[in-house]
Amino acid sequence: MSWVAVARKDFADAVRSRMLWGIVGIFALLLGVATLAPELIGIGGPVLGYSFAADLATTLVPITALVAAYLAVAGERESGSIKILLGAPHSRADVTVGKLVGRSAVVVAGILAGFLVAGGVALVVYGELAVAELASVAVLTAALGVAFVGLAVGISAATATRSRAMSLAVGAFFVFALLWDLAMLAITYLRTGNLPTPGASVPAWQLLVERLNPSRAFGQLVDAALSGADLPGAGGGGPAALTGGVSGPTPFYLEDWFMVVVLVAWTVIPVVLGHLRFRDADL
pLDDT at 233: 45
- Cβ neighbours around 201 below 10 Å, total: 9
pLDDT at 243: 56
pLDDT at 231: 58
For the stretch 114-163, pLDDT in tens is: 999 999 999 999 988 899 999 999 999 999 999 999 999 999 999 989 99
Q: What DSSP letter does each residue of 236-253 carry, written as one string?
A: T-STT---SPBSSSPPGG
CA 202 → CA 2, 188, 211, 244, distances in Å? Answer: 48, 9, 13, 6
Q: Which of 152, 149, 129 is nearest to 35 (CA)?
A: 129
* DSSP-derived 3-state class of residue 75: helix
- Residues in the chain predicted with pLDDT less than 70, given as ranges, are 1, 198-199, 228-245, 247-248, 283
For residues 141 and 115, is the Cβ–Cβ distance under 8 A?
yes
Model pTM score: 0.91
β-bridge partners, 246: 202
Report the alpha-carbon distance of residue 235 to residue 221 in Å, rounded. 8
Report the alpha-carbon distance of residue 127 to residue 137 in Å, rounded. 19
Please list, residue by residue across 139-149, b when 16 or more beta carbons sit within 10 angstroms of its beta carbon and e when fewer do. Answer: bbbbbbbbbbb
Secondary structure string (H, E, C) spanning 93-119: HHHHHHHHHHHHHHHHHHHHHHHHHHH
β-bridge partners, 202: 246
pLDDT at 239: 38
